[in-house]
Amino acid sequence: MDIHLEKRNEILAETVIKGLKSRNMTGYYAKNKEEALKLALGLIAKGSSITMGGCMSAKEIGLVSALKEGDYHFIDRTKLEPREALLAAYDADIFLSSANALTDDGILVNIDGNANRVSCIAQGPKKVLFIVSMNKICSDLDSAMKRARNIAAPANAQRFDIKTPCKLTGKCTDCKSQDTICCQFLITRYSRHTERIHVILVNEDLGF
C-alpha cells in the first residue's frame, strides 16, 4: 500500500475510534491482517462460545480458522438448523460481524435479508466484535447507506443463487423482489451496554 494512503488511513482511524468512543463503543486500528488477528484473539477469552453471520472479513484475516483450531467453542451455524443456529447465537459469548459501512464519527450500518445478523448485533450475544476494513469508512450516514445498498449488497448478492435486479445491474434499484437481501436495515448509533461492541479497523480491503 502507498505510504501516503497508509498514513491517511491511520489518521482517519483515529477519528473513527474517537467517534466510536463517544457512542460507548471501543475501536482499534490494525495495520494489516496479521495485526488484526492478534487484536481479535486478544479480545476473545479462551473457552468462549463464538458464532457469526456471513462475515467474510473474519475469514480473510484468519480469525475463523484460529478459533476452530484453538481452545474455543466455535458454533458453526452451517451445521445447525436455521432457528437452532439463531438461538445459539443469541446465547453466545461472542458474535463476529463486519459492517456494510461505518461513518467517520462511529455509526455502523448493516443490511440483512433474514435478520439473523442484525438481530444479534442489536441484542443477545454478550459481546459483538466487528472486523471492518478502512475502505468501508464513509463521511456521513447518507453516504454509508448508499455504500451499503450500492456496493455491499450487490456484491453480496453474487454469492447466492438468487434473482435480484442488483445481481444483474450491480446497483440498488430499491427492489421488492422475493429474493431481496435488503429486508432489514440496522443503524447502530450508540451502545447502551459498555464494553459490548468492539470494532477493529483494518488497513486492508476486506469483505464487500
What's the confidence (pLDDT) of residue 53? 86
For residue 1, pLDDT over 80 is answered with no
Would you place residue 107 in the very low, low, confident or very high pLDDT band (cuts 50, 70, 90)?
very high
Give the angle 8-13-18 at the CA atoms, nearest 5°. Answer: 135
What are the pLDDT digits (tens) for 88-106?
A: 999 999 999 999 999 999 9
Query: pLDDT, tens digit, for every residue of 26-59?
Result: 999 999 999 999 999 999 999 999 999 888 999 9
pLDDT, average across residues 8-20: 97
pLDDT band at 208 (very low <50, low <70, confident <90, very high): confident
Q: How many helices (H) and strands (E) does the chain have?
A: 9, 10
**Per this entry, what is the length of the chain?**
208
Q: Is the pTM of this model over 0.85?
A: yes
Q: Which pLDDT belongs to residue 4?
A: 87
Q: What is the pLDDT confidence band of residue 145, given thresholds at 50, 70 and 90?
A: very high
Residue 63 pLDDT > 80, yes or no?
yes
Residue 43 CA to residue 46 CA, distance in Å, equals 10
Give which of 144, 149, 139 is closest to 169, Cα–Cα. Answer: 149
What is the rounded distance in angstroms from the CA atom of residue 69 to the CA atom of residue 96? 16
Classify residue 141 by burial, with Cβ atoms within 10 Å: 0-12, 13-18, 19+: middle
Whether pLDDT at 17 is above 90:
yes
pLDDT at position 58, please?
A: 96
Average pLDDT over residues 140-159: 95
The arithmetic mean of pLDDT across residues 153-161, rounded, is 92
Whether the CB-CB separation of 53 and 111 falls below 8 Å is answered with: no
Sheet containing strand 101-103, strands side by side: 137-138, 101-103, 108-112, 184-188
Average pLDDT in the 141-158 region? 95
pLDDT at 2: 81
Q: What is the average pLDDT value for the chain, to the nearest integer?
A: 96
Query: Closest by alpha carbon to 29, among 39, 19, 20, 44?
Result: 39
111-144 pLDDT per residue, tens: 999 999 999 999 999 999 999 999 999 999 999 9
- Which secondary structure element, helix H or strand E, spans residue 166, and what is its range? helix 165-169
Provide the percentage of residues in the chain whose pLDDT is more than 70.
Answer: 100
